[in-house]
Every structure is written in structure tokens, then in C-alpha cells.
Amino acid sequence: MRSRLLAHAAAMTFAVGGLLVIPASPASADCTHPNHPNDYIGGGIDYQRDGTAIKTGPHPGCPALVGAFPGQPIDVHCSRNEDGTQNDWVFLHNSLYDENGRGWAREHTLAVQGTVNVPQCASAGTLVIGDA
């Protein structure tokens, strides 16, 4: 009887301890998306008047490399959706900054004439940019 009580106590301790360990820390942003094919040639996308941050990866927590402004060169390569919302990410290059101008901008930080379909970076199909 005593051994069964000890076994139940040990099982309860393990179960409760396991429950306390289950919550994991939030996943960190993957900010290492350095290059993607240049699959978009359509135009219609520019930087916002107040500036557009070009980031190292397609996540709000990724650091900005540079700020880009209207009139500066923009070469949109492809798009990506990280969180299932309509606010997509665009991989682009601003040649004024060499490699530091190559990175990611959130759709709502870009000025888009209407809507444009931009090929996805890592999968088939396109994403509609300008509807966020």
C-alpha cells in the first residue's frame, strides 16, 4: 500500500512538474533571409513619404538595415506572408545602399498604386500587395 502511495505521489509530482514546464518561450524571429530571386518586374510599388524600414528578415522584431524614401531606387523581388494576415512582406533592393539596401519591408510601409500581384519567395503563386 505504501509503495502504491509513493508511486502515485511520484506520478503526481511528475505530472504537475511537467505541466509547469510545458509553456515554451515565444519563438524568436528568423532574421536570416539574405537573398531571393528577382521574380517581379511589374512596378507600381514605392517607398512611403515618411520612409520605409528595410529589415534583415520578414518579422517585426528583425533589425532595420536602412530607411528608404520616395524617389530612391526600388527593385521588388518577391513576397512572403509570415502570419496569415493581409499585411505581407516584400523582399526588395535599394541600390543606393549596396548590400545593406537588400532586405524586407512590410506591405503597409510601402506606397502601392492600386494592388499588384508579387510572386512568393519560397512557394508557388503570388500575394496581392496593396490590400493591407
pLDDT tens digit sequence for 52-105 = 999 999 988 999 999 999 999 999 999 999 777 878 999 999 999 988 899 999
Rounded Cα distance between 126 and 102, Å, is: 20
Does the pLDDT value for residue 25 go beyond 80?
Answer: no
CB 72 within 8 A of CB 87: no
Confidence of residue 28 (pLDDT cuts 50, 70, 90): low
Does the pLDDT value for residue 6 go beyond 50?
Answer: no
Rounded Cα distance between 75 and 18, Å, is: 50
Backbone CA torsion sign across 132, 80, 36, 51: positive
Higher pLDDT, 23 or 97: 97
What pLDDT score does 45 carry? 94
Rounded Cα distance between 108 and 130, Å, is: 8
The DSSP string of 89-102 is: EEEEE-GGGGGGGE
Does the pLDDT value for residue 19 go beyond 70?
Answer: no
Q: Work out the mean pLDDT of the chain and round it to a whole number.
A: 79
What pLDDT score does 9 carry? 45
Rounded Cα distance between 125 and 98, Å, is: 29
List all residues 6 or more positions away from 131 whose beta carbon is below 8 Å from its beta carbon.
86, 115
Confidence of residue 24 (pLDDT cuts 50, 70, 90): very low
Q: Encode burial over 96-106: b for 16+ CB neighbours within 10 A, e otherwise.
A: ebeeebbbbbb
